[in-house]
Amino acid sequence: MTATLMKGKPLAERIRSEVADEVGRMGHIGLVTVLVGDDPASEVYIRLKHKAATEAGFDATDLRLPAATTEEELLAKLAELNESPEIDAILVQLPLPGQIDEAKVIRAVAPAKDVDGFHPLNAGELYLGRPAIVSATPRGVMALLAEHKVELDGARAVVIGRSAIVGKPVMHLLQQANATVTLCHSHTKDLQRQTLDADVIVAAVGVPALVSPDMVRERAVVVDVGMNRTDAGLVGDVDPGALEVASLMTPVPGGVGPMTIACLLENAVRCARYRRGELAYPG
Ligand code: NAD
């Protein structure tokens, strides 16, 4: 039996229309994206985020800074945006040029305006089990699992990849949903042994077809976060042959990708609610 596809597009569209309603209710939500330099992949991401933000009714500002921008200049700009009453949410597109210390920049965004949820305070709140702003891709993964009523309580979940942007936050969210989580990474010995034990597999690696069908347990749920550009087009981390083994699986493209943007917009609404005092930011 072939797995049911967990498509991201319909759910993402629903979320985006709910976000548009919220923007209408609040009247104005100011989102600024900051792109330093002209990395072509980053430009594509920024364009997609702006299109979605504008469609949802945000006041979206596309701030472009030259590749030679110094760390001091970027930090000064962020300090200004942190103070601005027009701006609810700030997104600094990564990666940044080599002369700029990324960790310093991530710490310089006001935590309650940190729409990506990368600030150590937001990462820490998630770690402590009281999430405030959580990065969009992991939230998208969880929303897809919830939409398909995947039972996580007591389930065995294997997350492959331990990045601060995807793998680790997904691990925390699954654990907080009462799954028993194993986090695998590039030094894991015998990955198949781990994955064959999993009711739920989340692959966030960046290696095409790393998860082969024989690594998936019969009727498992598979979420493929990977986005790998190959000669054959955009492919995930999971071999599509796994569709014959899994019960539910996300497609690539059209699975987690659309969810990321929708959840990012949801995060911006959350930032706006913090700034208006509708929600109390922790601390
Ligand atoms: P990353 O490079 O920061 O992390 C990759 C992780 O994979 C590392 O923790 C590493 O230990 C692990 N890894 C590498 N080789 C491995 C192996 N052979 N076996 C097991 N683990 C291995 O990447 P990231 O930012 O977490 O992104 C992961 C993938 O998800 C990429 O393909 C990226 O493009 C994609 N991504 C998609 C979205 C989306 O919206 N769909 C968002 C973010 C990232």
For the entire predicted model, the pTM comes to 0.97
- Domain 135-253 of CATH type 3.30.750.200: no
**Pick from 251, 261, 269, 253: nearest CA to 13:** 261
**Phi and psi angles of residue 224, each rounded to the nearest 5 degrees, phi first:** -110, 105
Question: Tens digit of pLDDT for each residue in 130-173?
Answer: 999 999 999 999 999 999 999 999 999 999 999 999 999 999 99
**Phi and psi angles of residue 163, each rounded to the nearest 5 degrees, phi first:** -70, 155
228 CB within 6 A, ligand 1? yes
165 CB within 6 A, ligand 1? yes
pLDDT on residue 1: 76
**Phi and psi angles of residue 203, each rounded to the nearest 5 degrees, phi first:** -105, 120
- For residue 212, count other CB atoms closer than 10 A to its CB: 14
The token pair at 132 is 């405030």
What are the sequence ranges of the domains in the chain?
Answer: 1-6+28-110, 135-253
pLDDT on residue 8: 98
Which ligand 1 atom lies nearest to the CA of residue 260?
A: 40
Question: Tens digit of pLDDT for each residue in 37-49?
Answer: 999 999 999 999 9
**Ligand 1 center–CA 273 separation, angstroms:** 31
10 burial via Cβ count (<10 Å: 0-12, 13-18, 19+) = exposed
Question: For residues 138 and 174, what is the distance between their CA atoms, to the nearest angstrom?
Answer: 10
Where do we find the tokens 């976060």? Answer: 225
**Ligand 1 center–CA 198 separation, angstroms:** 19
Q: Over range 81-95, report the average pLDDT.
A: 98
DSSP letters of 4-28? EE--HHHHHHHHHHHHHHHHHHHS-
Q: Over range 7-26, report the average pLDDT.
A: 98
Residues 117 and 133 sit within 8 Å (Cβ to Cβ): yes
Question: Which residue's CA lies nearest to atom 4 of ligand 1?
Answer: 163
**Pick from 236, 237, 235, 201: nearest CA to 216:** 201
Where do we find the tokens 């700009």? Answer: 77
According to DSSP H, which parts of the chain are helical? 8-26, 40-55, 71-83, 102-108, 120-127, 136-147, 167-176, 191-195, 256-275
Residues 27 and 277 sit within 8 Å (Cβ to Cβ): no
Catalytic residue check, 9: no
Catalytic-role residue among 93, 113, 168, 224:
93
pLDDT on residue 66: 98
pLDDT on residue 283: 67
- Of 163, 168, 263, 265, best ligand 1 pocket probe by most atoms within 8 Å of the beta carbon: 163
Catalytic residue check, 93: yes
The two domains 1-6+28-110 and 135-253 share their CATH topology (first three levels equal): yes
Q: Give the Cα-Cα-Cα angle 49, 53, 54 (nearest 5 degrees).
A: 120
pLDDT on residue 179: 98
Using the CB atoms, write b or e for 110-121: b if 16+ within 10 Å: bbbbbbbbbbeb
**Ligand 1 center–CA 167 separation, angstroms:** 7
**Residue 209 clears pLDDT 90, i.e. is over it:** yes
Q: Give the Cα-Cα-Cα angle 142, 148, 151 (nearest 5 degrees).
A: 75
**Ligand 1 center–CA 51 separation, angstroms:** 25
Residue 151 DSSP class: -
**Residue 30 clears pLDDT 80, i.e. is over it:** yes
Three-state secondary structure call for residue 157: strand
170 CB within 6 A, ligand 1? no
Question: Tens digit of pLDDT for each residue in 109-133?
Answer: 999 999 999 999 999 999 999 999 9
Question: Tens digit of pLDDT for each residue in 222-234?
Answer: 999 999 999 999 9
Question: For residues 19 and 277, what is the distance between their CA atoms, to the nearest angstrom?
Answer: 18
The CATH homologous superfamily for domain 1-6+28-110 is Leucine Dehydrogenase, chain A, domain 1 (3.40.50.10860)
